Amino acid sequence: MLERCYARPKTVDLIRSSWLGAAIEQYVTWFLERGHAPRSLGHRVPILLRFGTFAYDRGAKCYADLPPVVPAFVEHWITRPDHRRAPGPARPRLAQEIRRPIEQMLRLVVPGFVGTRRPVLAEPFIDRVPGFFAYLRDERGVRATTLRQYAHHLRQLAAYLRERGLDDLQALSPVVISGFLTDRSRHLSRSSVVTRCVSLRVFLRYLHREGLVARDLSQTVETPRVYRLASVPRSIQWDEVRRMLEAVDRRTVVGRRDYAMLLLLVTYGLRAREVAALTLDDIDWSHDRLRIPERKAGHSTAYPLSPLVGEAIIDYLKSGRPTTQSRRVFFRVIAPCEPIEFNAVSCRVTYYLQQAGIVVPRPGSHTLRHTCVQRLVDAGWPLKSIGDYVGHRSSASTEVYSKVAIETLREVACGDGEEEVV
């Protein structure tokens, strides 16, 4: 792998002659497999070589001796005289840039080494209510995405209680809960407030069940009323869809990937999560079929593969998708080489809508989902068939589109024996 990065044999020999040579070569292999460019090793490998010399001079004889030496080496590096560095104090991020490749290498060769990577947020109230998230996972069967919503809302509650010096859960009261919802929910939409209230109710009910609070406070949480069919789907016109697709530069890897994702969203009304989770096994090229498994409603759907969509996916697979063992279809363009996440899919839709100058409330992947359904409504599809096509969990989810069935509503407004006034 080193020969792939360095043309001069002397450089390869220099690296392998170091007592950390095997570890550095393992790091180089790992680094390139994650999709990073070989040129990015230009400043990382010299740091690792100097770190090896520095550690050896201070008595390190094996990999396990290296972690304690890291802080001293970083301090040595950023304080050493360097004519290439501007005079004055070192840049704030310089220490991080020196520490990162060293700690990445140590994670590969020192079992159990963690380092100073970005801390993972702990589950809220883990010290006082340790079994709550296990209860959600094991007893209620809550999905990982929903667990993240619970964690977000409960972190807000924990921060609110901490600001007011309320460390004991026994201090929870209807007044405190009402104050939290009033103070921390002003920026939320009505549906998001409902989600927060539901999360809070489940948490308070669990506290009472486990005997951590004297009374069940879940009944004091009042959710705002949300009326069915109160909103209008945020779809766009088909001419605007064409403008959005024309804004994609398909000469680039990013453009080829995004063009295929946009077509999947607007043609089949898929959710961003379903596009991100798409695998090579879900596409049956011999029968021109596209399968979407594990939908939100708990079932799978098979679609005929549109020639336009198929050509866009093939274009990306041939000239864009990285070489990888993963079966996922869509990947990040910037290293590390990992499958794209659903939130990135939605962000790309927002980007192209803005590039095309299309103004729509809360732009994102659901804009194209609504547009797909709107087109089916305009084509005269029954609402039941539309719900099956886009994978709605219940018919109630599809009823809102009856508000945008313009031609049908016009007939209802005219009534029998009346003529439309143009």
What totals of helices (H) and strands (E) does the chain contain, helices first?
Answer: 19, 3
Catalytic site includes residue 296: yes
DSSP run (H or E) holding 303:
strand 301-304
Supply the angle between the helices 190-209 and 144-163 in degrees, to the nearest 10.
80
Tens-place pLDDT, residues 369-381: 888 888 888 888 8
Catalytic site includes residue 27: no
Tens-place pLDDT, residues 188-245: 888 889 999 999 999 999 999 999 988 899 988 988 877 665 566 678 888 999 999 9
Catalytic site includes residue 91: no
Q: What is the rounded average pLDDT for all residues in the chain?
A: 86
DSSP string for residues in 124-144:
TTTTT-TTHHHHHHHTS---H
The catalytic residue among 348, 366, 370, 375 is: 366
The catalytic residue among 256, 369, 370, 375 is: 369
Q: Has this prediction a pTM greater than 0.85?
A: no
Nearest to 24, CA basis, from 90, 104, 125: 104
Same fold? 132-220, 238-412:
no
The catalytic residue among 296, 299, 327, 384 is: 296
The catalytic residue among 250, 257, 271, 375 is: 271
Residue type, 381: W
Residue written as tokens 């209807």?
Answer: 174
Catalytic site includes residue 384: no
pLDDT at 294 over 70: yes
Cis (ω within 30 of 0) for the bond into 336? yes
Q: Which of 4-8, 262-266, 343-347, 415-419 has the lowest mean pLDDT?
A: 415-419
Q: Could you state, in order of their start, the residue ranges of all structural domains in the chain? A: 2-109, 132-220, 238-412
What does the pLDDT average to over 280-286?
Answer: 93
Catalytic site includes residue 36: no
| pLDDT the model gives residue 90 | 58
Q: Grade residue 409 by pLDDT with cuts at 50, 70 and 90.
A: low
Q: Grade residue 408 by pLDDT with cuts at 50, 70 and 90.
A: low
- Could you tell me which CATH number the domain at 132-220 has? 1.10.150
Catalytic site includes residue 76: no
pLDDT at 121 over 80: no
CB atoms within 10 A of CB 119: 7
pLDDT at 248 over 50: yes
Q: Kindly give the pairing relationship between strand 301-304 and strand 283-284.
A: unpaired
Distance spanning both ends of the chain, measured CA to CA: 74
Assigned CATH class of 238-412: mainly alpha
Per the model's pLDDT, the better-predicted residue between 308 and 399 turns out to be 308
